[in-house]
Amino acid sequence: MSHSHDRYAYRPIVDRPVYDWPEGRRLAIYLGVNYEVFQFGSGLGAQLAPAQTEPDVMNYAWRNYGNRVGAWRFFDLFDRLSLPTTALINADVLDACPGLAEACRDRGDEIAAHGASNAVAQGQLSHRREDHLIADVTTRLAALGVTPTGWLGPWISETHGTPDLLAKHGYRYVLDWAHDDQPTRLSTRHGGLLSIPYSQEINDIPAIIGRHQEAETFAGMIRAAVEQLLSECDRRPLVLGIALHPYIMGQAHRMPALARVLTELREAGDPRIWWTTAGAIADHVEAHQLAV
């Protein structure tokens, strides 16, 4: 039995081609903002506290707060700082939260696919059902006027064939593989598929829900990551994806810490930083054949 995935080969980051991001910049930073829906009374979902009974009103309502309130706090902050984002959208958002996905589109965010809902992990699906899921999600999100070319699996869940199916359906990049600080190329049955870095560390779910940290600590993690990557980026181009969820960092008591760190970074105006989207990173890499 093979213990290898055969998607990419080992190559240390110190043994790669050196290149620039647009305008000679060296550190690409993007915000990956998750807009998610969950089932009432069943299915998967992050928990603020253990559920005692079903339906789990407390955790369902807490998660739903992000779409009703937290997302709009995010928009206010991102607009004030002129920050583009990659909007990672469950296709079920279109029906469950009318106007939310459209607001992302209208402010110029990149629209990327995040499965149908976060109540189901696609790694449990058969090949046929996963094929149908990816096709259906793509078609539904294309109704926003832009066909998504990037994919983040709900709960970072894949089958052995997920990269093959994504490439088959025209996706250019996937965010599931948090194995590098640079874009890398995954092998698939239908050609190459880019893996764009999406952090599981600079990510509010593992930090706040998993490790029971709070907003100031998470903001400190963002500062520290940027500091370290800036110290390295003269030697190699790097990517930092900051993963956010409106029902976590969009809470009133957490927004000030997020606002402070993003404002500090934006106002510092470091010329090495490219504030961008995951899709723009993929565009640049593909246009110049940069990924290994």
Task: Tell me which residue of 71, 89, 194 sits closest to 143, measured CA to CA.
Answer: 89
The answer to the question of residue 60 being in a domain is no
Q: What is the DSSP letter of 203?
A: B
Reading phi first (left if > 0) and then psi (alpha if -120 to 50, else beta), residue 79 is in alpha
Q: How far is CA 30 from the centre of its chain?
A: 9
In a domain, 89, yes or no: yes
Kindly write down the DSSP assignment for every residue of 147-199, as one continuous string: ---EE--GGG---TTHHHHHHHTT--EE------SS-EEEEETTEEEEE----
**Pick from 248, 249, 230, 250: nearest CA to 240:** 230
**Strand ranges (E), the chain:** 27-35, 86-89, 110-113, 150-151, 173-174, 184-188, 191-195, 238-244, 273-276
Question: Which among 128, 134, 161, 152 is positioned nearest to 6, based on CA atoms?
Answer: 161
Cα separation, 130 vs 110, in Å, equals 24
Compute CA distances 61 → 68, 166, 237, whole Å. 10, 32, 41
Low-confidence stretches of the chain (pLDDT < 50) are 1
Q: Is residue 240 part of a domain?
A: yes
205 vs 279: CA distance, rounded Å: 23
| Domain annotation covers residue 255 | yes
Residue 115 lies in a domain: yes
Per-residue pLDDT at 2: 54
Q: Structure pTM?
A: 0.96
CA distance 254 to 290: 38
| 242 lies in some domain | yes
- Residue 253: domain span: 22-39+65-287
According to the model, what pLDDT value does residue 1 have? 45
- At 7, which amino acid appears? R
Q: How far apart are CA 112 and CA 137, in angstroms?
A: 10
User: Which CATH number do you get for residue 149?
Assistant: 3.20.20.370
Domain count for the chain, please give it: 1
